[in-house]
Structure 1
C-alpha cells in the first residue's frame, strides 16, 4: 500500500514526538511492505509566527489531499506565551477548531487503557489499579458550546459574556451511530453521558440515543449524568466500556480518564469523519517547559499512529504490531521520565528518540 500522510508537528514537544511516530510508521512500512509518504505543514503557534494566522488555507488543502493526518501538539502556556495576547480567534487552538470543522471531523476517540506495568502510576486506590480498565471515550467534536454563537456585551453597565450551546438532530444521530458501532466491536456496553436533568440539548441527546439504540439491540445502553460519571470514573472505571458524550463534557471527562491511566503521555486519540479519513494526535499538550530537551514521552503519538493504521487504512495487523511493540517495551522495563518509577528495580530510562528507536526495533509481523 502507498499511503500519503500529512503531518502537523505543531508547537512545543510536537515536532519531537511526531518524529518518533514517523520513525515507527516507516519501520512498519519496511516490515509489512508499505510505503508511507509524509508532507509536513504548519498549524498553531508556529503558523502564527510564520504567517500571522494559526491555520492557513494551504494547510487545510494539504490535509484534505492526504489519506490521514498525524499531528503533534498545538499551542503554548496561557499567560506565558505571546500567542495568548492575541484575540481568541487568532490563538493557536482556534486553528485546531477550524481544522476539525473544515475536515468534518465530528467523532473523537480517546481510549484510556491502564497497562499492567504502569499500575503504580495510577492515582486510584490499589484495588482499582490491580483490576485495570480499558475505556473508549467517544466525543462529539464539532458541535455544542465550543462552536456555538458567542458574544460579550454591556448590559445595565456590566460586562456580560454569552456562549451558546446548540445541537442539531443530525449531529447527535451520527455520533450515536459511531458510538454504537464501536460498542459492537468491543464489550457491547454503551454509556451515554449528558445533563438531561437541566439542559434541553441533553434531553435531545438522550432521546436520539434511545432512537438509535433500536438499530443495535445487542448493545446495552445506559444513560448517566455527567457529574455522576465523573465521580464513577474515579471510583471504578472498570465498569465502563464505551462512553459517549457531547463536546465539552467529553473534553473534561477524557482528561480525567487520561489522569487515571497514569500519564497523558500514554494516551492516543483519533478524530474521524464519516468516511475513513481521520486526524490522529496525542491527548497531551505541547509541554513548552520541556520542549527541545528530548525527554517527552512519544508513546501517545506512536499509539495514535497505530489508530491511524486501524481506522483510516484498515491495516489491523500493522496496528497490532505497534501496540504489541509498546506493550513489549513496557514489559521489558523501558520508560520515559513521566512513567518512570524510581523505586522499582530493573527499569531503564530512555530519551524521546531512544523510545522511538526501541518501539521501531520491536515491530514484528
Structure 2
C-alpha cells in the first residue's frame, strides 16, 4: 500500500533544505520505496498567499498523510503581526490538530564533527542523547494567557503552565518505550522544588514507571541542574523526558554540543497509527535564506526519522543516516560545520553515499 508524505517547505531556508530532502526521498522511490509526495504552503508563505499560516485544507492533508516533513516557519516580515496570526501560530495549530504530543529530539555527535562542538572532544565524542519533550501542553498552550492593562495603568502578562496526569503519562510512556530499545535509562526534568505542577510531573512519571516499567531506571533531576550537567558531563544522559518549555530550551542547549543546529532532526509523534510531523530544529534562518548555503543534514535526518517512525522503513532510515555519516567522514561540510559546500552540493555528497 502506497505511503504518503506531505512536504511543508515553509519560510526562509525551509524550502532550500526541504528540496534536498525531497531529492533523497526521490532516490529511495527510484530504488523501490512505495511513497507518494505532495506539497502545500505553510507558515509565512501561507499568510502571504492565503491570509492564514495554516489553512483548513493543509491541516486536513496533514492529518490524512502518513508523515509530514516541514522546513521551517517565520521571519522578520511577519514579526509585527499578532501572535495568533504569525507563522509560528500555524505550527502550534498543526501540532495540536495532528495531536502529536511527543517531540523526539536526538542530539547525536557524529565522530567527524566532534571537534566542531564548543566543548572538548572528550566530552562529546560518542554523544547520543534522545530528548522526549511534551509538545501540546504546558505554558505554551495553557489558559488563561495574554496581556491586560491594570486599573493603575500597568500592564500584566500571563501565561499558564498546566498539565493533567494523562498528558504527563502518555509522553512518559513513549520515553520509557524508547528507552527499552536503548540503555533502559530515563532522566526526567522538572522544577518540582518551586512549582506544584513540576512536583506533580515527578510524581506521575514515577507512578507510571512503578506500575508499568519496573525494568527502566528512572532518575529525576531539576531542570536548571540538567542545564548545567549537559555542559559538565553530557554523556551521562541517554533518554531525557521533559515538559514543553524545559524541553524546548534544554534540547537546543544539547544541540550545540553536536557542533551545529544544522545537524539535528526532530520528530513529533502521537498515538500509534497516527501521522507524525518531522522537522529540522534550526528554524528559518532569515540571515542566510536564499544564499544556498544552509546545511540540509537536519532535514535529511528528519526524513530518516519519518522513515523509521511513520513509514515503516527502519532499514531505509538506517541507510540515509549512514549516508550522512559517510559524507561527513569523507570531509563534506557546509559553512556551519567548517566547510564551504552549498546546500545542493552537500546533498550531492550524501546521495553519493546512499546505498
Tell me which residue corresponds to 1:272.
269
Tell me which residue corresponds to 1:258.
255
How high is the TM-score relative to the length of structure 1? 0.94
Residue 259 of structure 1, CA deviation: 1.1
Give the alignment of 1:85-104 within 5 angstroms. Answer: 85-104=80-99
SS in 2 for 1:335: coil
Q: Deviations over 1:143-170 (max 9, x none)?
A: 0000011022222411111111110111
Tell me which residue corresponds to 2:30.
30
Tell me which residue corresponds to 1:141.
135
Q: Which runs of 5+ in 2 are unaligned?
A: none
Q: Deviations over 1:252-310 (max 9, x none)?
A: 00100111111000000000011242010001011112111111000000000000000
Tell me which residue corresponds to 2:289.
291
* Aligned residue-pair number: 351
> How many angstroms apart in 1 are the aligned matches of 2:270 and 2:170?
10
Q: Which runs of 5+ in 1 are unaligned?
A: 342-348
Q: Deviations over 1:176-226 (max 9, x none)?
A: 100100111111110000000011111111111111112112210000000
> How many angstroms apart in 2 are the aligned matches of 1:153 and 1:350?
49
Residues 1:132 and 2:141 are matched in the alignment: no
SS in 1 for 2:290: coil
Displacement over 2 Å in runs of 4+: none
> How many angstroms apart in 2 are the aligned matches of 1:191 and 1:90?
36
RMSD: 1.1
Residue 132 of structure 1, CA deviation: 3.0
> How many angstroms apart in 1 are the aligned matches of 2:238 and 2:325?
21
Q: Deviations over 1:225-274 (max 9, x none)?
A: 00000000001110000000000000000100111111000000000011
Residue 126 of structure 1, CA deviation: 3.8
Q: Any conservation in 2 of the 1:26–1:35 contact (CA below 8 Å)? A: no
Tell me which residue corresponds to 1:334.
332
Tell me which residue corresponds to 1:83.
78
SS in 2 for 1:152: strand
Residue 3 of structure 1, CA deviation: 1.8
Residue 51 of structure 1, CA deviation: 1.3
Q: Any conservation in 2 of the 1:2–1:36 contact (CA below 8 Å)? A: yes
Residue 360 of structure 1, CA deviation: 1.9
Give the alignment of 1:93-242 within 5 angstroms. Answer: 93-129=88-124, 131-149=125-143, 150-157=145-152, 158-214=154-210, 215-242=212-239
> How many angstroms apart in 2 are the aligned matches of 1:216 and 1:168?
20
2:244 corresponds to which of 247, 250, 257:
247
Tell me which residue corresponds to 1:346.
none
> How many angstroms apart in 2 are the aligned matches of 1:68 and 1:127?
37
Tell me which residue corresponds to 1:352.
343
Tell me which residue corresponds to 1:18.
18
Residue 356 of structure 1, CA deviation: 1.3
Tell me which residue corresponds to 1:47.
46
Residue 350 of structure 1, CA deviation: 1.9
> How many angstroms apart in 1 are the aligned matches of 2:40 and 2:23?
17
Tell me which residue corresponds to 2:279.
281
> How many angstroms apart in 2 are the aligned matches of 1:314 and 1:65?
16
Tell me which residue corresponds to 2:317.
319
SS in 2 for 1:289: coil
